[in-house]
Structure 1
Amino acid sequence: MSGISLDAGALIAIERGDPDVRALLRQAADRGLEVHVVPEVVAQVWRGGPRQARLGAFLSARGVTTPEYDVHAAREVGRLCGASGRHDVVDVHVVWHARSRGHLVVTSDPEDMRAIDPSLPLVSV
């Protein structure tokens, strides 16, 4: 495992100060693991304002990456949507991104992620 990818539920847990997610992120940092958040996940949860100060600080923290969503990634996500029969491009992008990088997925929807890829390593929050 080279890193972790977070879904919207994981970002919401960060925003709420969930101690389990904080511990997981601390462990990832201690091990030098990458932390990635695909851009659509940010769009799902970001509303701005002072209530999201914790989330804003996390997203701009050193070691947290929001990779670009280019046409190659879009095509691969579309292919995986077709192959898995799933239509939620955000979840599918999280799965594709994590799979392509050997990441663990931190999610609040393990059933949805497993429906896309049953072999994906997951941590449920």
Structure 2
Amino acid sequence: MSGITLDAGALIAFERGNRLAVSVILRAVQQRLPVVVPAGALGQVWRDGRKQVRLVRLLGSDAVEIEALDDARARAAGQLCGVTRTTDVIDASVVLCARTRGHAVLTSDPGDLQRLDPHLNMHSV
């Protein structure tokens, strides 16, 4: 694995202390592998940083990069949704992030991501 991309479900699992999510993410950080969070996935889970202490610490780590959802990425995500006849642009942005970086995705919903890319390397939490 060259790095890991986290979707909203993985972030929620990490915040809740899910053993598998915590283990996979901390192992990636310890091995100095890139850990990337697409901005849209972050937006899906962010509510109150004062209460999301574990998530705040993770996102504040030098090991974690937040990938912007800019114009080009938004258009590419929309196009992927069109080709796959799906509607979740944030899921599509997660898939594109992982694809372009050669990452695996840590997810709580592999079915939705698989519809976008059946060959994507995923780990379920």
State the TM bucket, normalised to the shorter chain: over 0.9
Distance 1:16 1:29 in 2: 18
Q: CA deviation digits over 1:6-26, x for unaligned, max 9?
A: 111101111111121111112
> TM (normalized to structure 2)?
0.94
Mapped contact 2:74–2:89 kept (Cα < 8 A) = no
Q: How does 1:1-125 map to 2 (within 5 A)?
A: 1-125=1-125
- Name structure 2 gaps, 5 residues minimum: none
Aligned residues: 125
Shift of 1:30: 2.9
Shift of 1:35: 0.4
Percent of counterpart pairs with the same letter?
Answer: 46
Distance 1:76 1:43 in 2: 19
Shift of 1:49: 4.4
Distance 2:49 2:121 in 1: 33
2:53 maps to amino acid = A
2:18 maps to amino acid = D
Mapped contact 2:49–2:56 kept (Cα < 8 A) = no
| Runs of 4+ with deviation above 3 angstroms | none
Distance 1:12 1:24 in 2: 14
Distance 2:75 2:35 in 1: 23
Shift of 1:51: 2.2
Q: What is the RMSD computed on CA atoms of the aligned residues?
A: 1.2
